[in-house]
Chains A and B, each alone.
Chain A
Amino acid sequence: MQKFIRDSGHLIRPAIVLLAGLGLFMVIRAAVVPKGFGQYGHYRPGALAAIRQHPVAYAGQGACVLCHDEEGKVRASGKHAHVACETCHGPLAKHADDPGANIPKLPTVATLCVRCHEKDTAKPKTFPQVVSTEHSGGMACNQCHKPHNPQL
């Protein structure tokens, strides 16, 4: 034993340095790598929860018709049945959360309808399209058509 320590004495100091370095590495690694890193893959699982915290702007079709069931019924019977309320009326999740405080404005008909129905050769042939200047002669669309159920 005495001989062994004497002969390998020059290895002990590097071994101590190596072990100390390894220990330091482990301590720094534990401090720097975020909690749960690698749980699902090479990323921080906390990011998933953070992204889910983003607030919702569009409440969704289901929320609107809870109160506005009359409008919902009228629309469901017409050609706009699959157009969501918020497509024309804008993002209204705040209104759905607190109906009194966030009164939505009526959409501007002059720009609203032509957005979809202005004639364009790239549009599907079966989709109803008009050249708005020739079609109405400057009259607002909703003077003839009801937006919720666009019959004449």
Chain B
Amino acid sequence: MEITRRDILSVGGKLLMIASVGATFEQITGAKPPPDSYRMASHWWGMIIDIDKCIGCGNCVHACSNENQVPKDYFRTWVERYEVPEGYVNPRVSSPQGAIDGFPPSKQTSLKSFFVPKLCNQCADSPCVQVCPVGATFVSPDGVVLVDQDYCLGCRYCVQACPYGCRYLHPETETVDKCTLCYHRITQGLTTACCENCPTGARQLVDFKNPNDPVHEFLRNNKVAVLKPNMATGAKVYYKNLDGSVR
């Protein structure tokens, strides 16, 4: 094949165009660094909880309370102790003060017994968001269900709509309050207060959009479940080895 001058000009011209586009793109992105290094579009937050590791110490509840100034007797996260007789008939569920100081030792020895930490499931299709009449509660672009304290009317629709009982009306502000997945922490590279203080690593903050996050291996290798899957809430808190008696 003979290379003519026309060919050289044609190919060279195309290469020059591609290179100049690349250079311009480089200049645009290079000249204006984003003012904030946190990009909401590159995260999709959730949590994984290993039931077999939870010891019911309540350090998560304690830490959450300290971090977020949760009012006394209200809980953004709590731990339940299940005591299940054979055949799932009437499991006994206890959570003294949300387990903020742990549990008194159980007297039962013959029952199946385990702890279940609970928190907002950060649903992708959240019923609480759907019922808000003023757009005060919403799913953020990085997948966290949040409440706009300046916009909330305190009508409590969302408190009733949440199938997991994760919302409450703050007694002082009279607006709805809930787990923010420590949004102020995770957006600056820290983990949540509950995960930071879990001594056994039973709960772990995860980012589904990060390909290197251990969540992908966790979901592939374990038997996992979300709470109330029949409600199709798109819950993003995954429990490993969750017992069928847990509601």
Q: Chain A residues in contact with chain B, CB under 8 A?
A: 37, 40-44, 47-48, 50-58, 60-61, 80, 82-84, 86-87, 90-91, 115-116, 118-124, 127, 131
Residues of the A chain whose Cβ atoms lie less than 8 Å from the Cβ of B191: 60
- 1/0 contact string of B54-79 vs chain A (CB within 8 Å): 11111100010011100000000000
Interface contact A51-B151, CB-CB below 8 Å: no
Number of A-B contacts (CB under 8 A): 130
CA distance A127 to B135 in the complex (A): 46
The interface size of chain B toward A, counting residues with CB under 8 Å, comes to: 55
Across the interface, A121 reaches (CB within 8 A) one of B40, B58, B109, B149, namely B109
Residues of the A chain whose Cβ atoms lie less than 8 Å from the Cβ of B115: 122-123
The 5 closest A-B pairs by CB, nearest first: A47-B148, A43-B138, A122-B113, A54-B184, A83-B199
Interface contact B190-A82, CB-CB below 8 Å: no
Q: Chain B residues in contact with chain A, CB under 8 A?
A: 40, 52-59, 63, 66-68, 81-83, 101-103, 105-106, 108-109, 111, 113-115, 135-141, 146-151, 180, 183-185, 187-188, 190-191, 193, 196-201
Q: A119-B105, A120-B105 are in contact. Are A57 and B55 (CB under 8 A)?
A: no
> Shortest distance in angstroms between B37's beta carbon and chain A's nearest beta carbon?
13
Residues of the B chain whose Cβ atoms lie less than 8 Å from the Cβ of A61: 196
Interface contact B150-A127, CB-CB below 8 Å: no
CA distance A34 to B102 in the complex (A): 44
Interface contact A47-B151, CB-CB below 8 Å: yes
Closest to A132 in B: B105
